[in-house]
Structure 1
Amino acid sequence: MAPVLALVLPVQRRIHLAQGLWLLSWLLALAAGLTVLCSGHLLGQVWQLGPFLAPTCPFPALPQVALAAGAVALGTGLVGAGASRASLDPARYPPWRGLLGPLLAIGTVLGGGLLLVGLVLVLALPGSLDQGLEQGLGAALEHYKDTEVPGHCQAKRLVDELQLRHHCCGRHGYKDWFGVQWVSSRYLDPNDQDVVDRIQSNVDGLYLTDGVPFSCCNPYSPRPCLQSRLSDPQAYLLFNPRQPNLNLWAQGCHGVLLGHLQWFVSTLGSVLAATCLLQALVLMGLRYLQTALEALGGVIEEGETQGYLFSGALRDTLKALWARAGGANRPAPEEIPAEEEAPEEGLPE
């Protein structure tokens, strides 16, 4: 039973392997630390922007999985650095001998699985983020007026803070406010004929105006902000409301937030890919180092030994499982018995 991907490792190669593995382990720890920082920051951004995401949007799973993967990779890097350094010292290696096997299994299955899931989510979730922001921002604009409704009383404050912080207005532009009632009903006079006409002018019975909240105004503009009668070309003599610059934020919040979060996703994806590559190299190096020292009985000494990734017994076990799963009833070509030749029948006399 020959081992799989075996390498001959004399003492000099083992020393070089341990030294290179120590360096790769610290690089893995650094990349994993960056993964934890990036995913933690993205998780904070998602938590902050949670009211503007649809409840069914799966995007928050990405920073959570990336955070867990980064934590496991950080532990793998620290363990790899300690084990590779201990492999050069006969007095320090024996405590690591019984730990390397379980640690390699945990790092491969748990850490590698989480990193791969995180990379898949980085590629698969941007589309759901677009749709989640579309639905979440639309609902936030509709509940802007509900300052006294339980569960939505903070919607006005959150939308105002969002527009002021990210310099955006509406979902795709300031005209989105024309299609929703953003003025609270408690500020409307039911005896005012203009209010009654506006409410009766649409099927939904909403008080719609061609104005925007004050949070859409650019406070750095030297000119007064135009908030109301934005669709009336005769409302202002000095300004043309048809011009794109109305002292309002030009961009919609959907595009601003989407670009903001996608930049974090692309950065996190690059860090995850680097972490995944470094973790694969560290785990392979630890496996070669472990099997090479096990061949010497766990004693670090001069001599030539062999390291490998998989033992021959594991290969035979996998073959047996595969045969039981699908090929038990199909014998291998070399195992098919040759058909016995039919006996020649004698000719009748």
Structure 2
Amino acid sequence: MAPVLPLALPLQPRIRLAQGLWLLSWVLALAGGLTLLCSGHLLVQLLHLRTFLAPSCPFTALPQVALAAGAVALCRGLGAPLVAGTAGGGGLLVLALALALALPGSLDTGLEEGLGAAMAHYKDTEVPGHCHAKRLLDELQLRHHCCGRHGFKDWFGVQWVSSRYLDPNDQDVVDRIQSNVEGLYLTDGVPFSCCNPHSPRPCLQDRLSDPHAHPLFDPRQPNLNLWAQGCHGVLLGHLQGLASTLGSLLAVTFLLQTPVLLGLRYLQTALEGLGGVIDGAGETRGYLLPGGLRHRLRTAWLQGGAAHRPAPGEAPPEEAPPGEDPPEA
């Protein structure tokens, strides 16, 4: 069978191919290093934001696979890459690129559930496992300039004031708790972390839905000195932006690794005819496969089937038919 995609490689083309592969290997190492840094940055961001992301969200698999793909690409570029190792790294890159295209859509639901759970546990400062929810959510709103899940009114539907600060003898507290079926103390106020510290006006945190509570401010206008954006949209845009950058780096790394893989295969097969000497005299040919693709697949299939068949000498002996019992003496 004729080789697949044969290419004549005299001495000078072989040398230029080797030099080009050396240069591409350094560029591949640079792209792999950038992919490694970007995926590591995304992984650190997810570790910091894991409280606000649902545990079932599959998005966390993206930086982990991309981290492995970037490390393999970096090693392939710096070391003496083998064809098998380059092909394995290409498989990781394809998998990471597919995850970068498919998984960012799962962030919407993951952040929706995670932020809702964090807001519900904001008041549980003395409950084991949730005692840091208040601090983390306050830091999130102050750092990312956001308030609530989709806006400051989301705080109206959750009890964010700890029960230890509520007076059970206060009639207003009793009325508010009895006004909903869940028995929560709900207010039309927001935590202090929703306030914009750069505003020249005092921050309005309480009675935000009462038009008579703050006569100089209109609650229907965006002049409440609160962060206007919800944390869901801010985090979604932030993480999807990092995923988009990582996907671009993965695509570039894959496009660089493809010619490296093909060039290594041609150079390897060309040198087989010269005894492994790259500057050997004479003309040789490189190819991708030594035979036709159908013949190659058929040979691999037959070799796999032969490996499962026992050798003639290893066949288990057939049991002899039972004979008649010898007569008793």
> Under a length normalisation based on structure 2, what TM-score does the superposition of the two structures give?
0.89
Q: Deviations over 1:92-113 (max 9, x none)?
A: xxxxxxxx6xx311220x2112
Match of 1:26 in 2: 26
**How far apart are the structure 1 equivalents of 2:198 and 2:26?**
47
1:61 aligns with 2:61: yes
Structure 2 counterparts to residues 1-349 of structure 1, below 5 A: 1-79=1-79, 83=80, 103-108=82-87, 110-300=88-278, 301-312=280-291, 316-320=295-299
**How far apart are the structure 2 equivalents of 1:322 and 1:246?**
72
**How far apart are the structure 1 equivalents of 2:164 and 2:135?**
17
Report the secondary structure of 1:65's partner residue.
Answer: helix
On the 8 A contact 1:104/1:287 being kept in 2, the answer is: yes
Give the partner amino acid of 1:54: A
Q: Shift in Å at residue 320 of structure 1?
A: 4.2
Q: Please provide the CA RMSD for this pair.
A: 1.6
On the 8 A contact 2:11/2:282 being kept in 1, the answer is: yes
On the 8 A contact 2:217/2:223 being kept in 1, the answer is: no
Give the partner amino acid of 1:316: H
Report the secondary structure of 2:8's partner residue.
Answer: strand
Q: Shift in Å at residue 316 of structure 1?
A: 2.1
Report the secondary structure of 2:183's partner residue.
Answer: coil
Report the secondary structure of 1:151's partner residue.
Answer: coil
Q: Shift in Å at residue 127 of structure 1?
A: 1.5
**How far apart are the structure 2 equivalents of 1:299 and 1:323?**
34
**How far apart are the structure 1 equivalents of 2:101 and 2:300?**
33
Match of 2:320 in 1: none
Give the partner amino acid of 1:138: G
Q: Percent identity?
A: 78
Q: Shift in Å at residue 312 of structure 1?
A: 1.5
Give the partner amino acid of 1:111: G
Q: Shift in Å at residue 319 of structure 1?
A: 2.8
**How far apart are the structure 2 equivalents of 1:248 and 1:309?**
63
**How far apart are the structure 2 equivalents of 1:192 and 1:283?**
75
**How far apart are the structure 1 equivalents of 2:71 and 2:303?**
38
> Under a length normalisation based on structure 1, what TM-score does the superposition of the two structures give?
0.84
Q: Shift in Å at residue 323 of structure 1?
A: 8.6
Q: Which runs of 5+ in 1 are unaligned?
A: 84-99, 326-349
Q: Which runs of 5+ in 2 are unaligned?
A: 305-329
Give the partner amino acid of 1:189: D
Q: Shift in Å at residue 314 of structure 1?
A: 7.1
Compared CA separation, residues 324 and 308, structure 1 to 2 (3 A): closer
Give the partner amino acid of 1:64: Q
Give the partner amino acid of 1:192: D
**How far apart are the structure 2 equivalents of 1:78 and 1:282?**
13
On the 8 A contact 1:77/1:279 being kept in 2, the answer is: no
Displaced runs of 4 or more, over 6 A = 322-325
Q: Shift in Å at residue 123 of structure 1?
A: 1.1
Q: Shift in Å at residue 131 of structure 1?
A: 0.5
Give the partner amino acid of 1:195: V
Report the number of matched residues: 303
On the 8 A contact 1:76/1:279 being kept in 2, the answer is: no
Q: Deviations over 1:19-70 (max 9, x none)?
A: 1111111111111111000000000001110000001001110000000000
Q: Shift in Å at residue 313 of structure 1?
A: 7.7
**How far apart are the structure 2 equivalents of 1:18 and 1:214?**
63
On the 8 A contact 1:174/1:250 being kept in 2, the answer is: yes
